[in-house]
Amino acid sequence: MKSFLARFIAKLHFVLLPFLAKFGFWGLGALALLDSSSLPVPMDAFLAFSIWNDKGHFWLYCLTASVGSAIGGLLPYGLGRAGGELFLLKRVNRERFERMRTRFERQEFLAMMIPSMLPPPTPWKAFVFAAGVFEMRVVPFMLSVFFGRMVRWMVLSLLVLKLGPGAVQIVEHHALILVAIVGALAIAGFTWWWMRRKRADKLLEN
């Protein structure tokens, strides 16, 4: 059975992925949806190749791929929300589970956005599953995935435009440094926005 599934997935990769890639940014959006929901896809490589061959629309490829990823993530998110708590409690005790829930709820947006910015082999679907288990609201979940993916792929796009498709290897080899820089910028931006919003709320109250 396992060998049959392996052959089936390999055939899907060989036939379906190149087929979808022919449809430009719409195809890239579909590939991102597949990657986030079920079938692993080398998204960075597909994105780099697409952008290198259509440089003027790099932002559109990033946009559609980010939207596709946010939509596709609803499948593992939904699985976590439907019965993930029992699944996790079989692997961790109740005390640790509640600590995980508290940490997630304090910074749920960043808890999803930052993993969404990370390149493979980040266990992204595990974070998505946890977002469902801890009942993160759907709209903030999709926005956090969208913005995280958008930041990641815009950075990759700029590197591709500057260095060519080989930028994918640079990202893989220097992933931790790039993630640290991008993550710090994202956290700083989110903190600035949050403080600005709080200040505006106080002004309205007064």
Percent of the chain with pLDDT over 70: 70
Pick 56 or 91 by higher pLDDT: 56
State residue 4's pLDDT score: 44
Number of domains the chain is built from: 1
Q: Output 61 or 53, whichever has higher pLDDT.
A: 61
For position 1, what pLDDT does the model report? 46
**Higher-confidence position of 52 and 139:** 139
Q: pLDDT tens for residues 62-117?
A: 999 999 999 999 999 999 888 778 777 777 677 877 877 887 877 888 889 888 98
pTM, two decimal places: 0.75
Report how far residue 62's alpha carbon sits from residue 68's, in angstroms, rounded to the nearest whole number.
10
Mean pLDDT of the chain: 78
> What's the pLDDT at 20?
65
Range of the domain at 187: 2-205
Mean pLDDT of 187-196: 66
